[in-house]
Structure 1
């Protein structure tokens, strides 16, 4: 297991075997971190399926994602958190997906990379991770609409920057993002904002 602390958010990632129950691994991690029996930590879900823990003195927003052979999880007390991990792999339909679901300005930027398939795949994945992490933190997930938030990828080494979003998501500067490579061949993004 490797871990990261970013502001009020803690996250960890592990090797993962597809088909394993991710929730059990997340519960074990939090039990060890809080010094409680994992079975005492009940992961509840709201009407949209968004997980959280409300067990005795432990109240936390929790989120996880898996892709390929990696699992990543995040928890926060006093913040809403979302996380996504994606295996970097060929996505032959990346541009078609962007044209259908992304904000037009993001799609235009990706179309400019059409002659560089590696850059196109990487930037598509960076955008996907950022959008999914933020929408999971918001609580509605992808069904809210990928086109309802717009990112810039101007900083090649930093996280995508949220430029604009639907008012239901709050203001762009309400959100914090952290993007990194937790394992070779994977991209991850952590998104959070104050719970209030």
Structure 2
């Protein structure tokens, strides 16, 4: 697959088959992730991989409750509140794997983890896998209980909880708005 094809073809996947993702495939995605640039070449990444269905279900339940409890009223569209309050809504869309990318706390932790996350998602697409960054999980994973659930070291910040799996349905292209450009000089 050409890089341009991966960039233009990767989309958020929210429906997964039950097929597990082999360990060697996950390791290859992480290898692609660590090829990302990092501030002053620190390479400060930590990857927590969860494939245990019961733990994924527990994290989904805890993260939903945390979001409901801590979300300011009106901060999200109403349909998101309704989803979070629905017992049948699983924030990981029943994907077979969650890879959470954390980075050592510091001035560029967010940037470092985000660069690795984009590489990981592009590599997943190239291998025929779907992926989706799950923002609903982030705030709970930052809590002491969330970090403990994934064994994230105290001096690391969880940034990118990304689900991975084989898509249950084809993902349609999403039109993009034209960019706002300002040519200076």
Q: TM tier, shorter chain?
A: under 0.3
Name the structure where strand makes up a greater proportion of residues: 1
TM-score scaled by length of structure 1 = 0.26
TM-score scaled by length of structure 2 = 0.27
More relative contact order in 1 or in 2 (CA 8 Å, sep 6+)?
Answer: 2
Name the structure where helix makes up a greater proportion of residues: 2
